[in-house]
Structure 1
Amino acid sequence: MTQNETPSPGHEGEATLESQLRDEIEALRAEIEQLRMDSLRERADLENQRKRVARDIDIARKFANERLLGELLPVFDSLDAGLVAADGHEGPLRDGLELTYRQLLKVAGEHGLAIVDPVGEPFDPEHHQAISQADPGQAEPGSVLQVFQKGYRLNERLLRPALVVVARHD
């Protein structure tokens, strides 16, 4: 073919077809890449949702007994008061009361309940409720001198603060 000759229409059509195929291949590659990214994003979303559901189930399991244990707190208080009243009186009634109290505490403890009984500890407004102040005597100022009512936590969540008397600061 010389310089003055024009390319045959077949060659021009092949070049156009080749260009169209390249463009289509690039478009398909871009679509595949977009689908791959969407798939990865959805996988990550599903994994995050799975973790969130597992965490929610764990929290629900930890605090499923919260209402029941909260309603049992007056029973603990009554048994505690009974033991204080029976102090110095030895006998089967006191022994039975103490055994019942320990068994109830053991079962509740196995379900995450813990007593907040802070005598001698520094006052902590997160876990204690001060109902009065008193002269410290030998105690450190700001420490708990007396507990009127024990507090309780369920798996580190406060169910009820301890009602306490705090040593006055001079």
Structure 2
Amino acid sequence: MKGVSKVEAMMCQIEKEKTMLAERVSALSDEIKSGKAKYMRLQADFENFRKRYDKEKSTIRSDSEAEIIENLLPIVDTFESAKQQAKLETEREKNIDKSYQGIYKQFVEIMRSLQVTVVPTVGKPFDPSLHEAIAREESNEFREGVITQEYRRGFRLGNRLLRPAVVKVSSGSGNRKRWPVPQQSVGQQGATDGTHG
């Protein structure tokens, strides 16, 4: 019987080891599941971080571009003011003006390539998100709320307003009330096609 009790003892030992191994496998399985869950959370956190980083990077770049372009807008104003005030009499003055207009045209092309556009004004309805009204006037030509004159151009960078257009708005009160044929203000054509009107 010694042999039988020895076999039973071994069986009992094997059963204990089997139970311990099953518990260990279960614990390892739980650790693996927990590790997978942690890994998935870390992966999701990293993906969210990457998206936030990309968005912040894009915002910083967009803000920097906008700031640089805003600082260049006075150059546009200066060119346009000089063009309006120039009284070209001699051939030399006309050649100098032609050179300046060539530089201005290049500048306008660069602005266009950066997706800078002019805010539409004369003949368009006043929009406080795009225009700054500094005067109102009665008009037989334009209905109430329609822009009659542009004092300073407004500009956009994509969908972002860089500078509102400064305008005069019709208060209506004329005999004839019709929607006007859109017109461009003096110099408005220049920023869109590189020429001056």
Secondary structure class of the residue paired with 1:139: coil
Q: 2:152 maps to which residue?
A: 149
- What's the offset of the Cα at 1:129? 0.8
Residue of structure 2 equivalent to 1:133: 136
Q: Compute the displacement of 1:160 (Å).
A: 1.2
What is the deviation of 1:169? 5.0
Structure 2 residue aligned with 1:4: none
Aligned-partner Cα distance in 2 for 1:104–1:45: 44
Distance in 2 (alpha carbons) for counterparts of 1:35 and 1:103: 60
- TM-fit CA distance, 1:50: 2.2
Equivalence for 1:55: 55
Is 1:120 the counterpart of 2:142? The answer is no
How far did 1:107 drift? Answer: 1.6
Distance 2:32 2:49 in 1: 25
In structure 1, runs of 5+ residues without a counterpart are: 1-7
Gaps of 5+ in 2: 1-7, 174-197
After superposition, the C-alpha distances for 1:126-170 in whole angstroms (9 at most, x for unaligned) are 111111211232223212111111112223222211111112255
The alignment-based identity, stated in percent, is: 27
Q: Normalization by structure 2: what TM-score?
A: 0.70
How far residue 124 of structure 1 moved from its aligned partner, in angstroms, is: 1.3
Query: CA–CA distance in 2 between the matches of 1:57 and 1:42?
Result: 22
User: What number of residue pairs does the alignment pair up?
Assistant: 164
Shift in CA distance, 125/113, structure 1 to aligned 2, threshold 3 Å = same
Counterpart CA distance in 2 for 1:11 and 1:87 is 114
* Mapping of residues 30-109 of structure 1, within 5 Å: 30-86=30-86, 91-109=94-112
| TM-fit CA distance, 1:66 | 2.8
Root-mean-square deviation (CA, aligned residues, Å) is: 2.7
